[in-house]
């Protein structure tokens, strides 16, 4: 008989294995494995610059030939960690492209049902901060002129 903690650890390891299989399938361009791992109604959240929606492009483009795959972004996880009984966090850094990304996958019944993708979000925050500073400066200048 398993304790609750053992059951949760087994589930976390299974979920981590599902996510690891996804990235292996991506690396090998194995679309049949991808289709078995992903729920047909995968919920997707993307946070970052719009031109960085690489995972969406890879997973929704249909059949790929090797030339298409090789020209697209390659996800090489640096760490994969199960954080609770349904979610797994994957982190990656691609130095040559100066790209930092985090994927938070939800796994239910052995299938990936949700992805929250964070891509170079510090750039987005930095960019928004500079816009806010410029707007604040312009508002002050207008107020001082009146």
Terminal-to-terminal C-alpha distance of the chain: 77
pLDDT over 70, % of the chain: 63
Is there a contact between 123 and 49 (Cβ–Cβ < 8 Å)? yes
The answer to whether residues 76 and 24 touch, using CB atoms and an 8 Å cutoff, is no
Report the chain's mean pLDDT, rounded to a whole number: 75
Confidence of residue 10 (pLDDT cuts 50, 70, 90): low
Distance between CA 41 and CA 112 in Å, rounded? Answer: 10
- Residue 114 banded pLDDT, cuts 50, 70, 90: very high
Cβ-based neighbour number of residue 24 at 10 Å: 12
Q: Say if residues 117 and 105 touch (Cβ distance below 8 Å).
A: no
**pLDDT digits over 19-51, tens only?**
999 999 988 888 899 999 999 999 999 888 787
Looking up tokens 């994969």 gives: 80
Higher-pLDDT residue of 120 and 105 is 105
Residue 100: which pLDDT band, with cuts at 50, 70 and 90?
confident
What's the rounded Cα separation, in Å, for the pair 94 and 136?
A: 35
Secondary structure class of 75 (helix, strand, coil): coil
Collapsing DSSP to helix, strand or coil, 71 comes out as helix
Helices (H), the chain: 4-28, 31-37, 54-60, 66-71, 121-145
Catalogue all structural domains in the chain, each as residue range(s) with its CATH number: 4-121 (3.10.450.50)
At 96 the pLDDT is: 61
What would the mean pLDDT of 73-94 be, rounded to a whole number?
A: 87
Q: How far apart are CA 107 and CA 92, in angstroms?
A: 19
Q: Between residues 48 and 68, which one has the greater pLDDT?
A: 48
What per-residue confidence (pLDDT) applies to 65? 53
């Amino acid at each position: 008989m398993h304790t609750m903690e053992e059951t949760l650890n087994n589930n976390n390891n299974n979920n981590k294995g599902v996510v690891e299989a996804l990235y292996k399938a991506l690396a090998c361009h194995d679309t049949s494995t991808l289709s078995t791992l992903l729920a047909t109604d995968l919920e997707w959240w993307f946070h970052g610059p719009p031109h960085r929606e690489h995972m969406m492009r890879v997973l929704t483009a249909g059949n790929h030939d090797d030339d298409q795959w090789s020209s697209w972004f390659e996800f090489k996880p640096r760490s994969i960690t199960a954080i609770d009984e349904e979610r797994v966090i994957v982190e990656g850094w691609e130095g040559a492209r100066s790209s930092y990304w985090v994927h938070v996958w939800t796994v239910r019944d052995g299938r990936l049902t949700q992805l929250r993708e964070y891509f170079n979000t510090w750039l987005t925050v930095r960019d928004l901060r500079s816009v806010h500073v410029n707007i604040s400066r312009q508002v002050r200048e207008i107020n001082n002129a009146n």
